[in-house]
Each structure stands twice: as structure tokens, then as C-alpha cells.
Amino acid sequence: MKKAISFMVLLFVLSSGLLIAQDNSANCNLIPLKGKHSIGLGMGMLSQQETTVLTVKVKAESNLMGNFYYNYWITDEWALELNAGILNAEVFSGVSMLGVEQKAATVIPVLFGARYYPSFAALAENVRPFVIALVGAHMGHSSSNKVTLGVKVGSETKVQSVFGSKVGLGIDAFLGGWMRLGLMAGYNIGADFKEPVGTRENYSGFDLSLNFGIMF
């Protein structure tokens, strides 16, 4: 619920900015983007980090997300994007009199698509709101190890892949001709894994991220 509220607030703020920008964009001499490249890093959160400690079980789940992206502007308004990162990571340990069982799981999205920076919505010559749409795959990697009386008795690794996509909106500021700072709110859409990856079969949900990139 908190994630949905945050997304709606950001949507409202950006929408208000777009309406104001329509009156100002005609007076902006927008910086040219066509032919530019950019590589960058995004860091954000799907939900609050949660750690649960039980009598004989310890579970740590980090809903922090991170991703690397590459953009190429085919026009001043349209940029292609290749995006890959980590959507979720979990570690689980179970302790008994006889031994220890450890499990780990990671979900990696690999997506391709485009960003649209409408010129009429520019807030300043170097501040550009955008919408984004990406499609690709969510790859789930899970592993488990079981140690009994100090002897490793079992090990298993599974890799699964399902359809994944992402839609969102945000705003980028292009600074000094080489730096790019941005804020983005998005919704990750993924199909169900055949078997749970960590504690979940589906990793759809809202995210909010800060982004830093280099232009060249």
C-alpha cells in the first residue's frame, strides 16, 4: 500500500509539472539529445527491508533494487534502452541439532525498450520528464545447501526464466553536458515462476529509484 501511495503521489507531482510545462516549453531552447549515448546506474526500493529471526530459522530479505542501463537517443524525444539488474535477493538459514540448511535466491530482470521525452513537457532546457516501457525476461536463480554433522549432504541449483516487463514515468536532468540525474517510479510486471524463487513465485510490484548516468 505504501508503495502504491508513493507512486500515485509522484504521478500527481509529475502530471502537475507536465501541465505547467506546456506553457513554458515553447520558451525553452532544449538541449539536443539525438545521437547521444548514456550509461548509468539506478538504485531504489521495492519495499522496506525486512529481517525475521525465529527460534531455529533466520531469514533476511532485501527489497533494495539496482540496475545498469544503456540508452541511445534516435531522436531528441526517443531513446532506446537496455536494462539489467537485481530485482530481489533473499537468504534463508535453518538450524537444527543435526545440521544447517542454507538457501539463497536472486531475481534478475533483463529488459529492452524505449523512453519517450516529450518536448512539450520540458520543465527547462535540460530537465525532461519521460515515460518508459520495457519488455524481456525475469530470471530467477535459487540455490540450497544442506550440511549434516559437518558433512555436506546435498546441494541444488535452479535457474528459471519467465516473461517480464516494466512501465513507468520519471524525470531526468542533464547537467554540464555529460552528467544525468533522474528519479523514476515504475511498475514491474512478471509472469509466475513454475517453482518459488525464494519465498515468492511472482515479483510484480511498484518501485521507486534514483538514477545517475554519464552522457557521451
> Each residue of 178-191: pLDDT tens digit?
999 999 999 999 99
- 93-114 pLDDT per residue, tens: 666 666 677 778 899 999 999 9
Residue-range definition of the domain harbouring residue 197: 2-215
Give dist(CA 178, CA 175) in Å, integer: 6
Task: Provide the grid cell at 170.
Answer: 520519471
Domain CATH for 50: 2.40.160.20
Structure confidence at residue 137 (pLDDT)? 97
- 29-75 pLDDT per residue, tens: 899 999 999 999 999 987 644 444 443 444 545 577 899 999 999 99
Per the document, the length of the chain is 216
* Alpha helices for 26-164 (secondary structure H): none
Give dist(CA 129, CA 169) in Å, integer: 8
pLDDT > 90? residue 144: no
Task: Check residue 124 and report its DSSP letter.
Answer: B
Contact criterion met (CB below 8 Å) for 169 and 184: yes
* Count of structural domains within the chain: 1
Helix (H, G, I), strand (E, B) or coil at 25: helix
Task: Provide the grid cell at 118.
Answer: 516529450
